[in-house]
Every structure is written in C-alpha cells, then in structure tokens.
Amino acid sequence: MTQINRLAGGQINQSSRVNFEFDGKSFQGHSGDTLASALLANNVRLMGRSFKYHRPRGVLTAGSEEPNALVELRSGAYQEPNTRATTAELFDGLVAKSQNRFPSLKFDAMAINDRFSNFLTAGFYYKTFMWPAAFWEKVYEPIIRKAAGLGSLSRQEDPDVYDKGFLHCDLLIIGSGPAGLAAALSAGRAGARVILAEEDYVWGGRLNAENISMDDQSGVEWAAAVMAELATLPNVRCMSRTTIMGAFDHGIYGAVERVADHLNHSENGKPRQILWRIYTKKSLLCAGAIERPIAFENNDRPGIMLAGAMRSYANRWAVTPAHTVAIFTNNDDGHRTAVDLMAKGVKVSAIIDTRPDAPKIADCDLLSGAQVIDTSGRLGLRSIKVRLSDGSLRKIECGALGVSGGWNPNLHITCHQRGRPVWDNQIAAFVPGPDGPAGLYVAGAAQGEFSTSAALQTGHAQAARALLDMDITAPQIQLPQTECQEVNLTPFWYVNEGKGRAWLDQQNDVTVKDVKLAHQENFRSVEHLKRYTTLGMATDQGKTSNMGGLAIMAELAGKSIPEVGTTIFRPPYTPVSIGALGGRARGKEFHPTRKTPSHKWSVEQGAVFVETGNWLRAQWFPKDGETTWRETVDREVRAVRGSVGICDVTTLGKIDIQGTDAAQFINKIYANAFAKLPVGKVRYGLMLREDGIAMDDGTTARFAEDQFVMTTTTANAVNVYRHLEFARQCLWPDMDVQLISTTEAWAQYAITGPNSRKVLQKIVDPEFDISNDGFGFMACREITICGGLRARLFRISFSGELAYELAVPTRYGDALIRRLIDVGQEFDVVPYGTEALGVMRIEKGHAAGNELNGTTTALNLGMGRMVSKKKDSIGSTLSEREGLNTKDALTLIGVKPIDISEKITAGGHLMTKGDPVDAAHGQGYVTSAAYSPVLNTSIGLALVKNGANRMGETMVLVSPITGTEISVTLVSPHFVDPEGGRLRA
Amino acid sequence: MHDLIPLSPLEAAAPRVEKYDGIRISECPDWAYASLAARQGQEKSCNQFAMDLLGFKLPDIGQITHSNTLAAFWIGPHQWMIEAPYSSHENLAAQIKRAVADTGSVTEQTDGWVRFDLHGARCHDVLERLCNVDIRIMQQGQATRTRLEHLGCFLICRKTGSEFSILGPRSSAETLFHALTTAAKAIL
C-alpha cells in the first residue's frame, strides 16, 4: 500500500524508507514517523477496538494522552501491550498488532457486546454478578477478563534489561516547548545546573506541530537554535525520550528515559529504559496543555480526532487522516487546524463552530452556531450530520473530523502530592493551584497561558523566579516575536441531541449516558463517578475525558465544575513498565549475595548451599555414593561427634565494643551479668527486647578491660548492631562506648569434636598453650598460627563437643580451611554444613532462631534464672510481667517419639493424651526437629505449657499439615551429654 | 613468617582489573584499614595523638585527608577510617592503638572491606547509575557513605572527575563488582 495520505514537508525524512508490519500487513513509513503517523499515511484509520463494546477505534491524539490507538508492540518475549501508537517511534522492522479483538481488527466477534450496550451500562458488573457469590472468582471474573481488556502479556520473561540512576540539579525543567526552552535558556545562561526533560523524541513541544514564525525563523528552527546553544553549556543536561512520571517528596522527581524503545533491539548489556530519580532544588513544569474533545453521538469513529492532533500530523509528520476533512470546534484554535491543513492542500469541507458569532479565520465553509449531531462509517468516518443554526440538517462527506473543545493545562505533576487545581473561567479549565509540590513552578500552557508568546515570557519569568529563590540571577534574554492569539473559547461540552451514545472516555467506553446514570443512581461524588463508570481509569487516566465527565456531572447536579472537583492525580503520569521499576534487581541480582571466606573451597568440594539472609552457606558436603542429604548430614554429625569437623561460622555477627564503659554497657544490654567477665573469657549472653521478649543470643569475649567482641546470630547481626547503636546514642549517650562491626573482617571456623584440640595444636604457634589447663572452656585470646599469622581463638561450643572457634583475617580464610582439612586428615576431619550444625545444636538443646522467634521469653527458653535481678538491663523489668510468668508458661523441652521409627514434625502441636485435638486444648508446639544419627531416633525441641514439670509425660503430637498423629515422650532438651563433660574435656 | 596464601575479595590470587572505554575498575586488596574512634572526653588528645602519627589533622565531616602514605576519612562523629598501604601497615590497628593509647578505640577493618578504584573520564556516568551521591560536584578530598546496589559503601573522590574509590562489604565483593562492571557496560 502506498502512503496516499502523505503530504509534503514535515519533520520527517521523506527520502528514507522504514518498513514495518501492522496486524501482519507490511507498510512503509519514514524516519521521524510514529507508528500512528505512518499508519495514517497509509490510510489506516482503524487501529484498535474499545475496551468493553469492541467498537472500532482510530487515533484520537498525537501524544502520550492517547486513549484508543494502543497496540502490542514487538513480538515474542519482547512483546509489550498497550503501547501508544502515537508515541511509538517507527523503526525498520517494527511489528505491531492491534489488541482486544477476535479474530481480526476489521471483524471482531466480540463486537456483539455493542448490540447489548443497553445491558452493559455503568455499574453493570455490580448489578449483574451478585450471586451466587462463589461464582465470582471462578466463573464471572475469568469470562469478564477474557471479554474485556487491553493488550495481552507474552507470559515470557522480559529479555530487556533496565537501569536506574540518580541525577541532581538546581532546576528541572519539565517539557521543551516554547516555555521550557525559554526557561532552559535563561537558567542555562545563568550558570545553574539544569536538567531539561522532554517526553518526545524531538525538542520543541508544540512548536513542532504549529506553523508559526518566531522572528525570522520558524518555530522548529528557533527550537533547534536554542537546543544547539544548550548543547554547548556543560551545566545543562538535555534528556529527550524522558518522561517525568511523578513528583515525590523533597523535590525528588521520577523520570523514565526510553533509551532503546526506538531501536529494533537494545544493544547487548544496555538498558531499554532507565528509571531516574532526580533530586532538584527547584523545578519548572512546562508540560503544555492537552486538547479536549466535544461529545456527540458516534463521536468515536476512526477518523475523528482532536483538531490539534490533526494539525500535528499535518505539520510535523506531513500526514492527513483523509483528503477531505471537517472541523468541529468551540474556539478559535480549531480554525487554525483548518488553515494549516488547507495550506497543505487538504480539502476542508466545513468548520462547524458552536459559537453563533464564530469568526471567519479560514477560507472555507464556516457553519456558526452549528453542532455535529451524528456520524456514519462502520470502520472509519464517511460523513457527519450537522444541525445548523437555523435548525436544518446538513450531511457533510468527510474522511476525518477534527474536534476541539478547548485545552486543559497539563497540570498533573502539580497535583501529585494531593494539590488541588483551581478553576479559571477565562479558559474554562483547571489551572495549577497554590498547593503544588514545594519548589515547583509552572509556566506556559500548563499554567493556562496558551499563546506561544505568553509561553516564552512565562517560561523565562518563572525560571528567573525559581533561580532567584536559589540566589541565582537570571540574565535578560531576547525572546523572539511570535504569535499571541487568544483561544477565545465558549464552553461547550456535549451535544444534547440524539438517542445514541456520545463517548466521553473512549478508552473505557464511558458515555454521556453513563454519567447521567451514575448521577441518577446517586454516584455523584467525583470519586464515585470514576469508580462507578470507570471514567478516567486505565492507561490514559482520562487525560482527554475527565473534563467532559465533570462538566456533565456539574450540569446534572446544578453545580459549577470546580464545585464538582477533580479526582486525585497520582503518579505515574504515563504508564511505566514494571521492568523499569525493578531495574537490575531481578533474578540472581534481586539482592546482594554474601559469600563466606570458604566459599570457593566449598564449591570445589561440591557443597550444597543454602541462602541465610544474603549469605550463601554450605548446607552439607556430599560425598560420592551418598544418595540423600540425610545420609550426608548423618555422616557429618557422626564424624564430628566421633572425631573432628570444621564449619565456617563467619556469618555470625561480630561487633567490636570498646570504651571505658564497655563492660557496663554490655551489662545493660544482656539480661545476664557481664560486668565482671574476666579478660580472656567468653560468656553466653541473652539480650531481651524492651518488652521482655528474647531478642538475640550469642557469646561475648573480653579481650581487654575496655574491649569486647560480641557475636550475634547470623540473622540478627544487623538488628543487634542497630539496637546497640540506639542504646549508645539515645539511651546512654553519656557512656564512653565505641562500636563497629567486624563481621566481615574475620574468617571464623568452628573446629568441633573430641580431636579438635589435636588438630589445632598442629597449626597454633607453639608459644600458645591451648591445653585444657592453659586454655579452658570459655577462654579466648589473641594468638598466632602457621608461623605468625595473627588470629583469635575462642573455646566455645554450639554442639556440646570439645570445640573452638578460630578467626583469622578474612583474606586467609580460604588458606586456613585448606590447612585445617589438610592437618586434620589423620583424624578423619570432615567439613560440616549448617544442617549438621543444626542437628547437633538440637541434640544439645541449644535455642536458635526457631526458638528465639519473637514470642518467647527467657523463662520460656529455660533461661529464666539468667535474667539478673541484681542489675537493670533492657527488658528485664517488663520480663517480670505477670502474664509472662504464669505457672503454665511455655517451657523449652525435648520430645522423642515412643516408636522410634516415627518422625517428630517441626510445627506440630502437642496435646495431652485423651484430650480433644483442637486449638483450645493445645499444650504447645514443636519448634525444631531433626533425626539424631547419634541417638538413632527423630528428636525435637518443643515449647510446652509447664514443660519443665512434665518430664516423662506421654503426649500426642499432631500435625494437620502432614496429617500425622504420633505419641511422644517429654524429655530433657539436652539429648547429648547433659552434664557438659565433653565440652570441658 | 606464615605460609598461608591470601585470596583477594573476588576469590583470586591476583586482583581483578576490568578496562572499558573511559573507565577502569580495579580491585585493590593492597590497603590496610583501621577505624579510630575518640573516647568520650578524650577527643582533643586523640586528635592530637592521631595528628602526631598521621602528620595531618583528622578530617572534618565528609572529608578525606592524605599524607604520602596514610589517609584518614570521616565515618561518624569522632570516628575515622585510617588507610595505609598493606605491605607496610599490615598491623595498622596496632600501630594506631600504640599512638592514641587510651584516648581512642581502634579496630582492625582491613578485611572487612573490598576496595574498588575507578579511573577515567566516565566515572560520573557509572556512579550516577549506582548511587544517589551528587557525583558530578564531588571534589577531590571528599568522602561519603552511600548505598550502592543495596550495599552500604564508602565513596571517596581521589581526583575530581576521574578517580574514585569505593569501599564495600567484602563478602559482597562479587555483587559490587558485578554492579560496577554492568553499569560500565551499560553506559558505553
């Protein structure tokens, strides 16, 4: 098909050929085209089907406010639904499909809905799908979703990548029309740091759409000259294809830069889009205005568009939607479209102006005081029916109709922080109110100043004001002489003639009648109107439709439009892809990964890893021939308890606490006594939250009178550090305490098992006595190993075995594990992972995260007596609350199955034998469970009411999740070596 | 002398260097770090002792100060990070502690961090994709804490416009390196 609607001129490269495909058909356009302009050039007016009634629709606008011409752009995994054809830049190989139609755009079977429009009015869903309630989710909703809607998802992972970034400026200028360019010139020359953001891919905004002169240049030439100057200013950053999508707190704006949407594919590794966070001192909105339509019967046929858009297509893209057009307007601006199109050789059959005193501006038939009352043409406009001022009817043949109901300042950004616009009678439109985001100024058409001349002047003036607020003086600049025509509008919202449907919101199929129905059914608040009729919802958020709905509601309610008010404007201004919001944080990069010092070695050993927070920890180390994880873990546990094993425990938090008050500080943090811990000793500590609930536990070592190293659980490392900082800075600022994390600075290994000392003795330098007498249980000291490497040694045990923890500077962590395994060969040393670690701590009855679960007290954990009464510590007072100290308080206890072939289930609930199995009779629950290869039975730790006094009782363990019910015995939680002889050996 | 072989934060024997047009990203394991925090009421003495050792006054908020071999940057109220070549200052913490004695708390930080140095004209372009520091006005001698790829890092401007250091948590060295190289590839 040739481009039969292509005109001469325009800002496209008419000598270029760009091939593209729409609904499987091949077309050609030019570089500089949008998909919409190229389709119009090829005489394709039908571009989509409507949301509810599947009515044929064409392009309404020439910008991002487009409600109708939404397409699925690209194919396969790159497919993106609801892309506006009006903003999609044409590139060679572009593939687009129309959406929401079956089987084809021209013949859409779902258009049957249109025949039932009397039933499908506003509130239809709410009234119809009332019962049976159960049908909603399974029957009604799927059917409705299938029938109604916009584009479809590919259901494949988005292969594009997206970036985020951060920018800073003195002045952010939003929009590069005449106001924005005048402002940028002023601020740029003043030396301010300026960001000029333009959503379009060309600079100049409306200057590209108008045929105007600025001094002796065209508007386009002037814009190019300004941009050329701005490009030379290092303090000005010009960002095209960048939409400011929201105004957020403290002068921060969100911006989406479409880096590669105009390319066939983004380059490898480069983002398709960048979500910028722009930190501004001041900002200036120069976003122009959006034209509004007039509603009349069948005003939605392809070929009926906004008059300003029709002018844009002609002037910028050298395209007319048809060779014979008409104009329907209530203001002078509509006439400009006729003038410009006629200048391009397009026949304008008539201007229908609702004003009886309409001026004669264009040299064509002017029908003053007339209204378009109906249209015809199934898949595209063929003719319009006009009621003339004398009451007679006239049918006018035309392939397109440009409609202008006036212009609405594009003020969305000013309302993103719940600011309210105010009404301006002069232009019959809302203008920005006084309560916009702090530091935001408005200029040009966005402020209600519609002439080019006023845009230039206000752009400069508002930039100067903003700069002055930053103590920057803007230089005087020479603004060009240009048009200063008034719009001269007489408000006219809809044609009140005819029984058919007059469309207000073409994206959501909302008609004048729907608004009347909402009023009739008392959904009169503007927010109710929106929800009841769906007016102003979905991708365009009613940019071209809201005002019409408000005007009609105002008329029906006998109120003024400002009394009816607007709905809340919220970010984003235009749709933002989820990919841009996610940025690079997806898949493996969703969060940072933390690796232990033994990671590389563990990978070499074939370790299976588990994520604990961001850490990757070795869970177990399978050996050849082992077929299940249990087999591996059982072996590791037996090896440790039988000889010796090594486990990387670097992930435990380590906090260096120093200062003359360090001991007193720790004494206040931990519930148990710490002030008198001798130098060279370690003690187990339990810290409580302010409310008396256990917060975290760990060991703290005293290396000097004024220096401690506190360890925390892996999961709580950050929380505990934060807690300590809060206590230091806010609770006891007079204490001399200094904190810093050293978690990552030291690689720390547990060397565990009866032969652990023998292994250590092979690497600890001989001057350090680590015999039982020289380095007893709970000792710590700084030593050297392997001939001089500084290290820290702690004699602590999580497993109940003779055990040590050895720390060296992290860079030597890899070498150390290799050395430990090497020297331990004669003792059959094994590496063991977190699973074996967990089994052994359950065997020993040590509480861990499952028990310190945010609900348990020291008493619950069997450590009630540790909460010292001789001192004050965080949480100690509130831990004495009566409700936490009842006789039947939960106590940590061990459980074993009576039949050792049965399994203890973590999370299972314990019931008194013979009692009903229900929540009311629950006696407690199993917190941790494991198979003990030492005891050859499943074991568990449980919190049971009055558990300490129920030792030996047989209870029933039920787990509704696994559907099991077994008999268990309550036993001591210390399954292995309850006397603690091994760890002191 | 012990015979254990160190690994760099990126788990290699030699530090990684990636070069792109306009930017070089280098892993720098050859630096020692120790934190110094003045004890309460001892701030003046601590500063004086530190100055005797370092040869310069401990820097103010947001600053880094250098001598030939030593540097210090502010990391909190009355708290600094001291930086020195690893080869000559492996035991940096002990050296500082000897100098400040009981007027300050000193903690070894060398292996708590991974340091990446960025060199080249495109440092700004890379860093503005990664952190919210106003990088284009950052001057030589400035240091700040920022979040970079979800990680709390120190960012130091070594030379205005073209030389920066990033100190990030060592265990996440690979994540940080990935973020830096990904951003470098994205801007070219």
pLDDT tens, residue by residue, A290-331: 999 999 999 999 999 999 999 999 999 999 999 999 999 999
CA–CA distance, A879 with A671 (Å, rounded to integer): 10
Residue A1 in this model has a pLDDT that exceeds 60: no
With a CB cutoff of 8 Å and minimum separation 6, the contacts of B38 are: B46, B47, B78, B79, B103, B104
CA distance to partner chain A, nearest, from residue B48 (Å): 19
**A window 929-958, beta carbon within 8 A of B:** none
Give me the pLDDT at residue A2, please. Answer: 82
E strands, A649-788, in order: 653-658, 682-688, 694-704, 707-712, 738-741, 746-752, 780-785
Residue A52 in this model has a pLDDT that exceeds 90: no
**What single letter denotes the amino acid at residue A541?**
Q
Q: Is the minimum CB–CB distance between A864 and chain B shorter than 8 Å?
A: no
Residue A265 in this model has a pLDDT that exceeds 70: yes
Residue A111 in this model has a pLDDT that exceeds 70: yes
Q: Is the minimum CB–CB distance between A742 and chain B shorter than 8 Å?
A: yes
Q: For residue A814, give the H/E element and its range.
A: helix A813-823
How sure is the predictor about A106, in pLDDT bands with cuts at 50, 70 and 90? confident
Percent of chain A with pLDDT over 70: 99
Mean pLDDT of A324-341: 98
Mean pLDDT of A89-112: 88
**B chain contacts of residue A735, beta-carbon cutoff 8 Å:** 40
pLDDT tens, residue by residue, A802-814: 999 999 999 999 9
Query: Across the strands, what pairs with B17?
Result: B26
CA distance to partner chain B, nearest, from residue A277 (Å): 8
Q: Residue B172 is nearest to which of A269, A592, A787, comparing CB atoms?
A: A592
CA distance to partner chain A, nearest, from residue B10 (Å): 10
Residues A291, A308 contacting (CB under 8 angstroms):
yes
Nearest to A662 by CA among A727, A717, A736, A606: A736
CA–CA distance, A832 with A816 (Å, rounded to integer): 15
pLDDT tens, residue by residue, B148-173: 989 999 999 999 999 999 999 999 99
Q: Residue B105 is nearest to which of A591, A596, A659, comparing CB atoms?
A: A659
**B chain contacts of residue A597, beta-carbon cutoff 8 Å:** 7
Give me the pLDDT at residue A570, please. Answer: 94
**B chain contacts of residue A614, beta-carbon cutoff 8 Å:** 172
How sure is the predictor about A126, in pLDDT bands with cuts at 50, 70 and 90? confident
CA–CA distance, A344 with A361 (Å, rounded to integer): 16
CA–CA distance, B188 with B176 (Å, rounded to integer): 19
Comparing A237-241, A270-274, A498-502, which segment has the lowest mean pLDDT? A498-502
Residue of A nearest to B175 (CA): A592
Give me the pLDDT at residue A148, please. Answer: 64
Q: Do A593 and B174 touch (CB under 8 A)?
A: yes
Give me the pLDDT at residue A427, please. Answer: 96
CA–CA distance, A861 with A883 (Å, rounded to integer): 16
Q: Is 0.95 exceeded by the ipTM? A: yes
With a CB cutoff of 8 Å and minimum separation 6, the contacts of A793 are: A760, A764, A768, A770, A775, A780, A781, A782, A783, A804, A805, A806, A807
pLDDT tens, residue by residue, B7-65: 999 999 999 999 999 999 999 999 999 999 999 999 999 999 999 999 999 999 999 99
Q: Do A786 and B79 touch (CB under 8 A)?
A: no
Comparing A134-138, A286-290, A477-481, A618-622, which segment has the lowest mean pLDDT? A134-138
Give me the pLDDT at residue B28, please. Answer: 98
Q: In angstroms, what CA-CA distances link A799 with A75, A753, A960, A975, B59?
A: 58, 9, 31, 11, 47
Residues A845, A973 contacting (CB under 8 angstroms):
yes
CA–CA distance, A848 with A928 (Å, rounded to integer): 9
Q: For residue A381, give the H/E element and its range.
A: none
CA distance to partner chain A, nearest, from residue B66 (Å): 23
Q: Do B111 and A809 touch (CB under 8 A)?
A: yes
Q: Residue A163 is nearest to which of B1, B129, B131, comparing CB atoms?
A: B129
CA–CA distance, A757 with A661 (Å, rounded to integer): 35
CA–CA distance, A375 with A672 (Å, rounded to integer): 86
Give me the pLDDT at residue B90, please. Answer: 95
Q: Which of helix, strand or coil describes residue A912?
A: strand
pLDDT tens, residue by residue, A183-224: 999 999 999 999 999 999 999 999 999 999 999 999 999 999
CA–CA distance, B103 with A527 (Å, rounded to integer): 65
Sign for the CA dihedral angle at A10, A14, A17, A19 comes to positive
Residue A151 in this model has a pLDDT that exceeds 90: no
Give me the pLDDT at residue A136, please. Answer: 76
| pTM (two decimals) | 0.95
CA B130 to chain CA mean position, Å: 17
- Indicate the average pLDDT of chain A: 95
**B chain contacts of residue A596, beta-carbon cutoff 8 Å:** 171
| DSSP calls for B91-159 | THHHHHHHHHGGGEEEEE-GGGEEEEEEESTTHHHHHTTT--S-GGGPPTTBEEEEEETTEEEEEEEEE
Residue of B nearest to A275 (CA): B129
pLDDT tens, residue by residue, B61-97: 999 999 989 999 999 999 999 999 999 999 999 999 9
Give me the pLDDT at residue A130, please. Answer: 72
Number of A–B residue contacts, CB under 8 Å:
145
With a CB cutoff of 8 Å and minimum separation 6, the contacts of A394 are: A367, A385, A386, A388
Q: Do B11 and A600 touch (CB under 8 A)?
A: yes
With a CB cutoff of 8 Å and minimum separation 6, the contacts of B48 are: none
CA–CA distance, A592 with A165 (Å, rounded to integer): 18
**A window 250-309, beta carbon within 8 A of B:** 269-271, 274, 277, 279
Give me the pLDDT at residue A336, please. Answer: 97
Strands A400-404 and A304-306: parallel
Give me the pLDDT at residue B104, please. Answer: 98
Q: Is the minimum CB–CB distance between A977 and chain B shorter than 8 Å?
A: no
Residue A127 in this model has a pLDDT that exceeds 90: no
B107, B154, B180: which to substitute to probe chain A, counting the most A Cβ within 10 Å? B107
pLDDT tens, residue by residue, A38-50: 999 999 999 999 8
Residue A615 in this model has a pLDDT that exceeds 80: yes
> Residue B80 phi/psi, 5° resolution?
-135, 160
Residue A453 in this model has a pLDDT that exceeds 60: yes
Mean pLDDT of A398-424: 97
**B chain contacts of residue A743, beta-carbon cutoff 8 Å:** 112
Q: Residue B131 is nearest to which of A166, A744, A787, comparing CB atoms?
A: A166
